[in-house]
Structure 1
């Protein structure tokens, strides 16, 4: 599987396994989690996407219970911080909010390291833009965790270009990536400047919910019909075509694929076998927009 450079000494698999719903599975045993990781590794998928808030702040621990030293050395771990919601260990907070203070970032790193039984986070992302972010404080904290060796690279999630530029202006460490919602049901970044901003800087973009939260799999309209037609022609399913749509773009998009089904995990890499023609890409884009391009 192709790999994408995140920093000079860190690369990710082009497809990423997302662990958002890891705790929703009927079987959350270490053995079953290891089976999922093994199914990823068999395809060359080495990058695992986490966040402190996933699974009501429990998904990181589920991963940590499954990791052995040997397995840890075969994968890259992405995690995120700054969302505080009244669930799990933050059940007592009076309101969902964001915290990008130095104290919270440092505490979050320590907590994630402990839960995942590891001595390093490969990529730490600020999960959501914080209206109260002091970019000087946040930037210095991110520089600090990289300098400490506890975090190899840092980036953001759901940031617009101006949010990115503000934070980067206060940092010595280059931000490595932005993880944004991007799919055939979330096409705005293709035209609103989000992708262009990162593409111009040769910075990879991670795409969360590349299947539209599963809605693409049940679409009964023109988009679903177009996905089915291409899928039938290539001998794959809709998911592979929808992910191939993102891979076709030159902005080095890394789709984050989240599923608890071992069978579906084993077929994530089918998308790599789907080479969309330019006209096929635009047929999907037109169906997603509900109108032809201007």
Structure 2
């Protein structure tokens, strides 16, 4: 499994296991969670993607219950904060909102450390752009949690280039990554400036929902699905692996985040790394996703 360097001190596996559905599984036992992690590690997938809000603010604790020193020493943990929704520890919130104040960020970090039973977070992301963000306060808070040693690196999620630049302008720590939605179904980032901005600055992107939340295989684009299946047959992998390989082929070094609770599917996440798409095939799939040839 290839690894991608985000900072001078932080590397992550090219494929990331997303844990947003961890609390939705019918089996959240310690043994089952450890089996999922083991299936990832067997493929060289060492990066686990969390967020405080996942599972109604319960997914981090489910991971923490299964945590051991041996597991912790073999994985990188990504988590996120700033979404406050009327659930879990925020059940009394009157409305869903974003909170990027220093107090909320610091408290969120402490909650995550306690729930996951770890002494540091490898990568902390601001989960959503906050229209009320005081970038000086937020930037200073992110610098603070890095300086304290509680967080190794910081980044953002769902930010546009101007959101990124605003926050970065108030920080001494370099933002490491932006986790945004990218897939064959959501390919606008390749042309709207999102990918170009981060590629220009050498910042690898993380891609959430790289299979379109499963919609890629349920929608009306039969031609795309059929071509993915044909290519999969050539490489002896399933069509999902080909769709992920389409992202891996891009020179911006995208890190797809794949979330599933099915152990068999987890065990096949690494298949995408075996698929090599040439430029013509990449554009063939892109054209099928567009529904027409490129201009």
TM-score (norm 1): 0.99
Secondary structure in structure 2 of the residue aligned to 1:174: coil
Which residue of 2 is the match for residue 259 of structure 1?
260
Q: How many residues align?
A: 294
Secondary structure in structure 2 of the residue aligned to 1:223: helix
Cα deviation digits, residues 72-105 of structure 1 (max 9, x gap): 0100000000000111221111111000000000
Residue 155 (str. 1) matches residue 179 (str. 2): no
Cα deviation digits, residues 41-79 of structure 1 (max 9, x gap): 000000000000000000000000001011101000000
Instruction: List gaps (5 residues or longer) in structure 2.
Output: none
Cα deviation digits, residues 194-230 of structure 1 (max 9, x gap): 0000001111100000000011133452211121121
Using the alignment, how far apart are the partners of 1:59 and 1:93 within structure 2? 20
Using the alignment, how far apart are the partners of 1:154 and 1:129 within structure 2? 14
Cα deviation digits, residues 15-58 of structure 1 (max 9, x gap): 00000000111110011100000000000000000000000000
Which residue of 2 is the match for residue 47 of structure 1?
47
Using the alignment, how far apart are the partners of 1:189 and 1:121 within structure 2? 28
Secondary structure in structure 2 of the residue aligned to 1:7: coil
Per-residue deviation at 1:164?
0.1
Which residue of 2 is the match for residue 229 of structure 1?
230
Which residue of 2 is the match for residue 121 of structure 1?
121
Which residue of 2 is the match for residue 84 of structure 1?
84
Cα deviation digits, residues 218-266 of structure 1 (max 9, x gap): 3452211121121122211111000000000000100001000000000
Which residue of 2 is the match for residue 280 of structure 1?
281
Using the alignment, how far apart are the partners of 1:45 and 1:280 within structure 2? 26
Using the alignment, how far apart are the partners of 1:119 and 1:3 within structure 2? 23
Using the alignment, how far apart are the partners of 1:232 and 1:39 within structure 2? 23
TM-score (norm 2): 0.99
